[in-house]
Structure 1
């Protein structure tokens, strides 16, 4: 895999005084400010209901804040309309989910090709890119196989290939080992670390402190929508 270090000065992600409310209860996020540097692997820790998923959705442009700003790679994500948000995700974000979110009626190769096709990449270029990623991730032998025939670890590697096919500056990972057994989880941990060592910026959302310690270069912790622990380097 090529080095994926982004260009440009300043943080890749800048969150400023972010607040999000759902209904009349306590805010899901409260005056949250945090930055993510280019090439960093940041783990956002916290229990269920702490605001982790809400933060992920804000960065992905899937939801809008009530107050505050979300800037990713120079784009004010909080100001984008629906069409602009879709274009932003195709160009900037690769997403890896706990339950893979692969399409069972498409082959492995076609699952990986889908984001590239949506982004308008040429068929030849996208196929070359997809096959190279599958080979780099050790699952190219399954390119004509349907996802249901793969193990959990293999499916997660396919999901990572899909997330990388458009060369996004940022990977968002939501509990990427939560549905895996120990051996498969260890494999994905090594993959995430290798990606980050090659310059890929990663934001990992998890409740698993062990996963964060193994994958992240820095951690923050959310409790009730606020930062309870900010900017700790792993091992401190």
Structure 2
């Protein structure tokens, strides 16, 4: 069994004196898995993602991602960790409107200090593989929602992170674009990309994920492997 990409050991997150927003949680995600995290609002999904991305710290417990003890990172180390090990895709794309598609994709590589020529080669390869290379010089506002999400995925993958976090990636899309992004996520996982997908969309979860984890009141209430037939 390979080492987990994500490992939560008795992780608890509390805000002030209220009940835990998450935990205690014991959970591991292994290389090549596509894990769908489901649950109602307030169940702890966003807290889980924030902890994995080192945007927040646990109150108790240990979090290891790709061999890094995330719960011990300071701010500078956490920023470096995110650039190197985490790709993030959001519901509303978070592209910079004043930058063209190519420059949006290049930005994380530039922040990570990657050689510009190598970064451009990677960006072109990603845009071509995702079918949006024709829009490299366009600005995000000229693209459809599905096209913008493909650009966001290219940006998330430019530094070749071992883990892709997708937070409601189809939440702002129409039906056709949702199907497009669902197919994209499935293809990325088939190529070996480890993915954690937070969604309210049951169809997206069953269509993309190899495993489904459900949260309720901050705790894992079910964890099941999905069959290839389901996908």
- Same topology, TM > 0.5: yes
The whole-number CA distance in structure 2 between the counterparts of 1:112 and 1:202 is: 19
What is the match of residue 105 of structure 2?
A: 112
- Secondary structure of 2:17's counterpart equals coil
- Secondary structure of 1:228's counterpart equals strand
Alignment of 1:1-236 (within 5 A): 9-234=2-227, 235=230
The whole-number CA distance in structure 1 between the counterparts of 2:88 and 2:17 is: 30
Deviation at 1:23, TM superposition (A): 2.0
TM-score (norm 2): 0.97
The whole-number CA distance in structure 2 between the counterparts of 1:148 and 1:162 is: 16
Unaligned regions of 5+ residues in structure 1, if any?
A: 1-7
Deviation at 1:211, TM superposition (A): 1.0
**Contact preservation (8 Å) 2:206, 2:226:** no
Deviation at 1:64, TM superposition (A): 0.1
Q: Deviations over 1:160-204 (max 9, x none)?
A: 000010000000000000000010010000000000000000000
Q: Deviations over 1:67-90 (max 9, x none)?
A: 011100100000000010001001
CA RMSD, 1 decimal: 1.3
The whole-number CA distance in structure 2 between the counterparts of 1:103 and 1:143 is: 14
Deviation at 1:132, TM superposition (A): 1.0
The whole-number CA distance in structure 2 between the counterparts of 1:83 and 1:213 is: 37
Q: Deviations over 1:88-143 (max 9, x none)?
A: 00110000000000000000000000000001111100011101111111111110
Deviation at 1:156, TM superposition (A): 0.1
- Secondary structure of 1:212's counterpart equals helix
Deviation at 1:232, TM superposition (A): 3.6
The whole-number CA distance in structure 1 between the counterparts of 2:45 and 2:213 is: 10
Q: Deviations over 1:7-30 (max 9, x none)?
A: x93111101111011122221002
Unaligned regions of 5+ residues in structure 2, if any?
A: none
Deviation at 1:231, TM superposition (A): 3.4
TM-score (norm 1): 0.95
- Secondary structure of 2:171's counterpart equals coil
The whole-number CA distance in structure 1 between the counterparts of 2:24 and 2:104 is: 38
